[in-house]
Structure 1
Amino acid sequence: MSVTRVQIVSVPVRDQDRARDFYVDVLGLDLVRDNPMGPGGRWVQVAPKGAATTLTLVTWFDSMPPGSLRGLVLETDDLDADVTRLGERGLTFAEDGVQVAPWGRYVTFADPEGNGIVLQETRV
């Protein structure tokens, strides 16, 4: 096999505008594309600055209902600063807050659609 990278991860959402606003305005990801796609469809793609892997906010997969994604992991260099910044933007984290693991620290939360996200700072 000659796979070289993960290009796109599909995030199932019901409301692409609300999801786009969350991923761009709250999480701070870049809006890569927001274009019409086929009859009545739309391609909304976001990514961390400079990242090779992007997220597309999808509404068209019957097998992926909105909010069904779990375990999307976003890496940060400063978990404490990001937790503070995101909290100031109204993000609510899981009740157990920042967790410590042998490999680093992390916190979990959900996007407005209920998709489960992990924000982690890996120990080097």
Structure 2
Amino acid sequence: MTITHVQFLTLPVADHARARDFYVGKLGFEAFVDRRTPEGGRFVLVAPKGAKTGVVLTDQQVTDLDTDVAALRAAGVEVAEPEERPWGRATSFKDLDGRTLGLLQPSDFGTVPN
């Protein structure tokens, strides 16, 4: 595997604007990305100043998504076909308890500044 670190921790939220205001206004996080997705959703990335891991309000990072997808499939894991996103190439799979986990090979757009 080529997973190097967790770049995003994804938190499902009921209201993006309210959640963003909480993390930025109350906790002092920085908002790095706040944009609409092609599907009409919203991708919001916030992080504490200087952090290497951000919080996505709406995935584990890899350096070679295709290699990791092939390795997961060889291990018997059902993995969705990778898709191009504004922030990089992404896919998902379910763990043994049915939780959806994502893998992201980020574009330059998807990195959290240091």
TM-score relative to the length of structure 1: 0.45
